[in-house]
């Protein structure tokens, strides 16, 4: 069964990077849409090409950005064929970024100079014929311009050393990596930057030997050298030596100086067996944002002599967590491919089901495996727990519950209040409707006739404009309505409304709104107020829109002078019963 024509079944490409990503697929009469899902971690140039299209066939390519969290999008439109999604639903959840619509079987291409970080959907849609095709995508990170005038960020420094284990008369070389948000001032790098101190009163300023730049001067690797005490390294020199950065020495191009501090140590251990194993330090931030982006963490390996970088791989780390999760972390990169100390390795894990969401919440344990990372003397790092991180992703806002038909309760995702009149002013604080719905009380009447007042605040309210119409969504964000409560009438109190028309005739503030849905109980109070026939339903395969046709007496809502403000204007989005929690 083909499912990649629905957002829920979109082919997950994960994080897109500078390395080209290629996929082959097919479209035809029975498979009109292919959807691909990917994410960007930083601003990037985006390039796409759909090639190898068969003669007589034609396809288009569209790129969409998610406007809402993935789990909310899936709940609303994830199980619909993409071509069947109503335009209003598509535009509420997705924003079309670009498209390519060349005729016949010519290659379709997209070239976007700057694409923001976030989650995206690429749609390949059939126009004519049947064809296989090849899709190529890549995203090249863009270096964002720096505000040099207001730059106060100083450079940072990290040390890379190896130990000395054999007697010799060679100078000792080590390196320091300087990093900055703008650029390191090369002229500030000299023989006064670094001081090395050690046993027997050893103290020597290191001589700068070489500067090895990357693609730009934001990161420079500088090699330094010291000479051995007495002209030769021997057993009398055994001990720990400290490498320190001096104050007011290394700066960036905006005259910010790196702080003086000890950068690290190295050990001289000539004719002394090395039995000291490496150590590991974990840096694993908590995860609070859902999505498809893999979770990355770092482990810094340190040793008195040198870490054997060749032993760092994808068999080092096991991550275990909620719901029986267990995964070997994939090794991504190490900050320096040469043996030495310290060495910072980056690892990655993917979400249990491909997407991080609140179902994955819990504590995750990061553990080092047996016989994983060694030093250059083949001392293994002891297996064991390195640390933990928390996954704490907010649950989707729980919907309101109404009774609706003989099939039982209907789950509603949101109440939408739409203005009938169009507001030409894009500023929500100007134009025909201004102000904001900040809070309100909802009076819930149950089947027994009892009432309960529930207060809504800013966290439960979402507002936006669509086609110049002002739209408000009201969510049951923190279980304001308990599961057994049947709310067949929701009345918004006076405190909810802070909307006035800027029309010179100044219509009155709308004080109350009442939504009615017919009860199954023939003796229910609500039947005397409104019948089901007065609510129109427009099904779209993933839910219904029920439009309320009047106020609590069935009348259209008007201003003081009789002008219709909302007619009809109250839209209730109703999900199928299968969406019940």
pLDDT tens readout for residues 102-151: 888 899 999 998 898 999 999 999 999 999 999 999 999 887 666 666 88
Q: Would you state the pLDDT for residue 459? A: 58
How far apart CA 239 and CA 244 sit, in angstroms, is 16
**563: nearest Cα among 447, 419, 461, 465:** 419
User: Hey, what CATH topology would domain 279-391 get?
Assistant: Immunoglobulin-like (2.60.40)
pLDDT tens readout for residues 231-270: 999 999 999 999 999 999 999 999 999 999 999 999 999 9
pLDDT band for 406, please (50, 70, 90 cuts).
very low
**How many other β-carbons are positioned within 10 Å of the β-carbon of residue 519?**
20
**178: nearest Cα among 188, 165, 164, 192:** 188
- How many CA atoms lie within 13 Å of 349's alpha carbon, on the beta-carbon side? 25
Q: Would you state the pLDDT for residue 559? A: 29
How far apart CA 216 and CA 143 sit, in angstroms, is 11
> What is the average pLDDT value for the chain, to the nearest integer?
74
Q: Would you state the pLDDT for residue 404? A: 28
pLDDT band for 524, please (50, 70, 90 cuts).
very low
How far apart CA 402 and CA 361 sit, in angstroms, is 29
Q: Which residue has the tokens 């993409």?
A: 82
pLDDT tens readout for residues 170-193: 999 999 999 998 899 999 999 999
Residue 486 pLDDT more than 90? no
pLDDT band for 397, please (50, 70, 90 cuts).
very low
Residue 344 pLDDT more than 80? yes
Which two tokens mark 461? 């309210």
Q: Which residues contact residue 264 at a Cβ distance below 8 angstroms, ignoring those fewer than 6 apart?
A: 159, 161, 242, 243, 341, 342
Give how far the C-alpha of residue 558 lies from the chain's centroid of Cα atoms, to the nearest Å.
Answer: 44
CATH class of 148-268: mainly beta
- CA angle centred on 168, ends 163 and 173, rounded to 5°: 45
- How many CA atoms lie within 13 Å of 575's alpha carbon, on the beta-carbon side? 22
Residue 556 pLDDT more than 80? no
* Span of 6-10, 46-50, 262-266, 544-548 with lowest mean pLDDT: 544-548
pLDDT band for 376, please (50, 70, 90 cuts).
very high
How far apart CA 131 and CA 105 sit, in angstroms, is 9
How far apart CA 38 and CA 293 sit, in angstroms, is 8
Q: Which residue has the tokens 């050393």?
A: 161
Using DSSP's 3-state secondary structure scheme, residue 303 falls into coil
Residue 402 pLDDT more than 90? no
pLDDT band for 500, please (50, 70, 90 cuts).
very low
Residue 476 pLDDT more than 90? no
Residue 384 pLDDT more than 50? yes
User: Hey, what CATH topology would domain 7-141 get?
Assistant: Jelly Rolls (2.60.120)
pLDDT tens readout for residues 188-241: 999 999 999 999 999 999 999 999 865 568 899 999 999 999 999 999 999 999
Question: Which stretches of 4-90 are assigned E, i.e. beta strand?
Answer: 11-15, 21-27, 33-40, 44-51, 58-66
Mean pLDDT of 263-291: 92
């Amino acid at each position: 069964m083909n499912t990649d024509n629905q957002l829920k079944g979109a082919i997950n490409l994960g994080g897109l990077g500078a390395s080209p990503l290629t996929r082959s697929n097919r479209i035809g009469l029975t498979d009109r849409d292919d959807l691909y899902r990917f994410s960007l971690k930083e601003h990037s140039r985006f390039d796409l090409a759909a090639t190898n299209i068969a003669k007589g066939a034609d396809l288009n390519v569209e790129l969409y950005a998610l406007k809402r969290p993935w789990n909310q999008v899936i709940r609303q439109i994830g199980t619909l064929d993409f071509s069947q999604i109503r335009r209003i639903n598509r535009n509420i959840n997705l924003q079309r970024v670009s498209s390519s619509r060349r005729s016949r079987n010519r290659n379709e291409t997209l070239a976007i100079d700057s694409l923001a970080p976030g989650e995206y959907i690429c749609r390949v849609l059939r126009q004519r014929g049947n064809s296989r095709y090849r899709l190529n995508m890549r995203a090249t990170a863009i270096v964002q311009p720096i505000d040099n005038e207001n730059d106060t960020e100083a450079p940072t420094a990290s040390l890379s050393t190896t130990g000395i284990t054999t007697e010799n008369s060679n100078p000792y070389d080590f390196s320091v990596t300087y990093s900055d948000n703008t650029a390191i001032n090369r002229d500030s790098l000299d023989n006064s930057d670094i001081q090395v101190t050690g046993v027997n009163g050893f103290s020597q300023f290191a001589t700068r030997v070489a500067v090895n730049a990357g693609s730009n001067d934001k990161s420079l690797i500088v090699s330094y050298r010291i000479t051995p005490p007495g002209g030769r390294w021997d057993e009398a020199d055994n001990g720990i030596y400290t490498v320190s950065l001096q104050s007011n020495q290394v700066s960036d191009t905006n005259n910010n100086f790196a702080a003086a501090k000890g950068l690290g140590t190295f050990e001289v251990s000539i004719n002394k067996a090395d039995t000291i194993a490496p150590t590991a330090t974990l840096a694993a931030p908590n995860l609070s944002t859902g999505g498809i982006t893999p979770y990355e963490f770092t482990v810094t390996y340190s040793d008195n002599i040198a870490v054997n970088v060749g032993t760092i791989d994808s068999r080092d780390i096991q991550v275990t967590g909620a719901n029986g999760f267990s995964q070997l972390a994939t090794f991504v990169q190490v900050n320096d491919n040469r043996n030495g100390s310290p060495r910072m390795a980056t690892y990655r894990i993917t979400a249990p089901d491909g997407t991080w969401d609140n179902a994955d919440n819990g504590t995750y344990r990061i553990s080092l495996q047996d016989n994983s990372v060694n030093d250059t003397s083949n001392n293994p790092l002891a297996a064991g727990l390195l640390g933990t991180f928390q996954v704490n992703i907010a649950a989707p806002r729980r919907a309101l519950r109404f009774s609706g038909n003989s099939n039982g309760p209907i789950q509603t995702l949101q109440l939408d209040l739409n203005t009938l009149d169009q507001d030409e002013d894009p500023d929500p604080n100007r134009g025909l409707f201004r102000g904001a719905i900040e809070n309100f009380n909802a009076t819930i009447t149950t089947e027994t006739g009892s009432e309960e007042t529930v207060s809504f605040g800013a966290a439960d309210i979402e507002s936006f404009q669509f086609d110049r119409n002002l739209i408000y969504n009201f969510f049951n964000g923190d279980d304001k309505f308990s599961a057994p409560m049947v709310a067949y009438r929701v009345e918004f109190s006076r405190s909810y409304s802070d909307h006035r028309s800027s029309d010179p005739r100044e219509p009155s503030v709308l004080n109350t709104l009442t939504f009615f849905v017919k009860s199954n109980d023939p003796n229910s109070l609500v039947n005397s107020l409104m019948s089901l026939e007065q609510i129109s339903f427009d099904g779209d395969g993933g839910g219904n829109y029920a439009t309320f046709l009047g106020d609590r007496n069935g009348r259209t809502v008007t201003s003081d002078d009789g002008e219709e403000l909302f007619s009809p204007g109250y839209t209730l989005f109703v999900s199928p019963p299968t969406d019940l929690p």
